[in-house]
Amino acid sequence: MFALVLLLGVVIGLDRSPPRADFVFINASDVNTLDPQRMSWMQDLRATRILFEGLVQTDIFSWGFDVQPAVAERWEIRRVEEPLVNAMGGPVLNERGQQRTATREVYTFYLRDNAKWSNGSPVTAGDFVYAWRRGMLPDTASPYMKFFELVRGAAQFHQLRQAMLTEYQARPAAERNRAAAEALFAETIDAFEHGLSGEAARARIADPVRRERLGLDDENSPWLLDNGVGMRAIDDRTLEITVYRPTPYFLDICAFGTMYPVYEPVVSRFEEPNPETGTLVILGAWTKPEHIVSNGPFELKLWRFRRDMRFEQNPHYWNREALKIQSIETPSIEDSNAQVLAFQTGRIDWMSNVEVAYRGAMWEAKKAYYEEHRDLVEELRAKGYDQFEIDRHLPPDPRLHIHVIPAFGSYFYNFNCNDKLNDGRDNPFRDARVRRAFSMAIDRKAIVRDVRRIDERKAYSLTPPGSVAGYEPPRGLRSICDAATPEERREIADEARSLLIEAMRDMGMGSDPSRFPTVELLFNQEGGHDLIAQVVASSWETNLGVSTRLVAKDLQVFRDDLKNQNFMTARAGWYGDYGDPSTFLGINRTGDGNNDRNYSNPEYDALLDKAAIEADPVRRMELLHEAERIIMEDDLPMAPVFHYSNVYMFDPHRLSGITSHPRSVQNPFLAQVFDEPIGPGVARALPPRAPTPQNDNGEDPDSTAAPAKAGKDSPAAPAQAGTDSRNPSR
């Protein structure tokens, strides 16, 4: 009996929660991974910013999202002309017989000597080389491979490794073993550092059987990697990166979580080659508290699945004087009502995403409070104060705890663009006319007004209007909600139905929309997506005459179904990762890791390619505009629904460190919680700036311009000068 009591006491002691952290917040959802090179979800990226730090960081309290030093204390940029070689390592000649060159940008980063890992080891240039190389390997399957491809040779390295694996997997079983897989990986690393071209590449394709199997010729060789990948550690404190084309937002990308370093001595212990396939198997256990070594402001002390995470200050962090708190906790509270209750009872300090059904009423209550102080609020708005600082000028009141901030993100419905569905049926959404019809039939106004209820803007483009300086997205297709009269609404619905019937006839389905295959709408169970799906389904049934079926799934199953195109239509959303339209448009490029629709259009890809190398910024924006016009007015791989607003909950008189910048990036390690109420000018905040005109429902006036009709090409609008800095992130 005594032993049982003693054992019970030990168990209780082991499970005892630590004291309340200095700052407690609810993340967007449970963290999936803390591996920087393998993440893409917002909650993962937010946790990673607590633990890791990149070469540079963005100032979330500047409207320009200015790039600042981080691990790198300074950097230099220069342009070089690099000679081009063909698949066999020979010169690529122009029409005059001269060797062609390409303009590259070379970034030299100088790392600070007091940047340390959480175990006290110095952060070196080699740590970044190791981490970025992981991101380039197909074995890692990084959702952000496109970021790493900006490095000269990275795409070729990825292709080379894939070709090596293909060849390895074609070997007889007796030749595939651990030693062979390890040798293959060693050869891969050698190619990364030194390249593979000329005679070495020629030897790779000398065997006719191999040439036929891999579809190779002298001008099409995945074995080419001239001079290695353009990334090298000159010494422990100097990192050189060659970008394959001038990229104005490259430093912005360097600040993104996927580009953070990882500690090779630990991570490599959890990587092992698969003897059968040759691929490097990456075990996630290295991110557990007992193993992980990080270089950011905090270190991971506790991670209990579906319970909580706890972070404490990294004693070796180079910039500890900037930190105002010692510990951070993120409890897992799935029910949104319970989250609000936890805030109201003082258990948490910040809700990063308020999803309760009554949040619209809370927002209306705040607007009513603003109305009670109309003169002061209008005066503060005229001076350019952001919402948080306006709140701090007002008397404390619980109605000020809800915050709605326009975001650099869009909510949309994916259309599966494959010819066949996963179950083998013909996919009716393979025809762009069907996709246009379904987009036109969505009642966006009902969703924004009756479901969301937080003054979000209806969406006709993927890139939020006014969010990137110098860029104006296309108008997009008009929809039934744009009608001024019942007659016009019927006209738009008839136009959409005619498009659908035309496509049905060509696909051999007849001309009766009721015989169109039942449309399945996939969404995850959390977050009120069911209410949006109900409006979308009702819109399609009413305006097109089709039948629908709602398919709700657990978040993890939903994610897997998206990646595997196991859907007909599916809800989705995207927040921009950096301040450029390409952060949105890139997710529809053929083969992109975030192209869940499997959409492919060579004309669209070509426009993105042209924009990538266009030196004239105005012409570049025109090319991107035309690319977005194709997907928003012609092909419609997705139907935009609304542009996000972030909904936060915190007491602005007691919390500092949260930004209202539309990029949606938050750095929880900058938080400061006050015991007594604070007034204006105390908390970290965005500086005042000229306010943006808005109409009564919170939309920018230009966003109400009449969208284009289906099937009609709208002229490409010239790029216009923006009135403020680029807004944006995921």
Domains annotated on the chain, with CATH = 52-285 (3.90.76.10), 410-645+696-704 (3.10.105.10)
Beta strands at 327-331 and 23-26: parallel, antiparallel or unpaired: parallel
Per-residue pLDDT at 527: 78
- Taken in order 248, 463, 658, 19, the sign of the CA dihedral is negative
State the residue for tokens 């009902």: 446
Which is more confidently placed, 704 or 198? 198
Residue 274 Rama label (left phi>0; alpha psi -120 to 50; beta): beta
**Quick one: what percent of the chain has pLDDT higher than 90?**
75
Per-residue pLDDT at 78: 96
pLDDT at residue 116 is higher than 50: yes
Residue 654 burial (10 A CB sphere; 0-12, 13-18, 19+): middle
Q: How far apart are CA 147 and CA 258, in angstroms?
A: 9
Mapped onto helix, strand or coil, the DSSP state of residue 602 is: helix
> What DSSP character marks residue 652?
T
Cβ atoms 409, 661 nearer than 8 A: no
Per-residue pLDDT at 328: 98
Q: How far apart are CA 449 and CA 455, in angstroms?
A: 7
> Mean pLDDT throughout 587-598?
93
pLDDT at residue 210 is higher than 60: no
Per-residue pLDDT at 219: 44
Per-residue pLDDT at 7: 46
What tens digit of pLDDT does each residue of 22-37 get? 999 999 788 899 999 9
> What DSSP character marks residue 698?
S
Q: How far apart are CA 502 and CA 431, in angstroms?
A: 10
Per-residue pLDDT at 526: 80
Span of 110-124, 152-166, 256-270 with lowest mean pLDDT: 152-166
Which is more confidently placed, 726 or 364? 364
Tokens encoding 156: 């070729």
pLDDT at residue 88 is higher than 70: no
Span of 114-128, 164-178, 193-207 with lowest mean pLDDT: 193-207
> Mean pLDDT throughout 32-54?
94
**Quick one: what percent of the chain has pLDDT higher than 70?**
88
pLDDT at residue 70 is higher than 80: yes
Tokens encoding 174: 């007796």
State the residue for tokens 């569905």: 421
Per-residue pLDDT at 195: 78
Enclosing H/E stretch for 686: none
Mapped onto helix, strand or coil, the DSSP state of residue 410 is: strand
Enclosing H/E stretch for 496: helix 486-506
Per-residue pLDDT at 723: 24
pLDDT at residue 726 is higher than 70: no
Helix then strand count (H, E) for the chain reads 22, 21
What tens digit of pLDDT does each residue of 138-173 get? 999 999 999 999 999 899 899 889 989 998 999 999
pLDDT at residue 520 is higher than 80: yes
> Mean pLDDT throughout 4-12?
45
Per-residue pLDDT at 707: 41
Per-residue pLDDT at 8: 44
Sequence-distant (≥ 6) Cβ neighbours of residue 358 within 8 angstroms: none
> Mean pLDDT throughout 588-614?
94
Indicate the residue type of 270.
F
Per-residue pLDDT at 86: 64
Per-residue pLDDT at 205: 57
Taking alpha carbons only, the member of 396, 437, 384, 388 closest to residue 413 is 437
Q: How far apart are CA 640 and CA 573, in angstroms?
A: 9
CB atoms closer than 10 angstroms to residue 236: 14
Per-residue pLDDT at 4: 47
Which is more confidently placed, 556 or 77? 77
Per-residue pLDDT at 728: 28
pLDDT band of 199, cuts 50, 70, 90: low
Cβ atoms 299, 314 nearer than 8 A: yes
> Mean pLDDT throughout 116-131?
98
Span of 4-8, 262-266, 274-278 with lowest mean pLDDT: 4-8
Residue 312 Rama label (left phi>0; alpha psi -120 to 50; beta): beta
Q: How far apart are CA 517 and CA 425, in angstroms?
A: 10
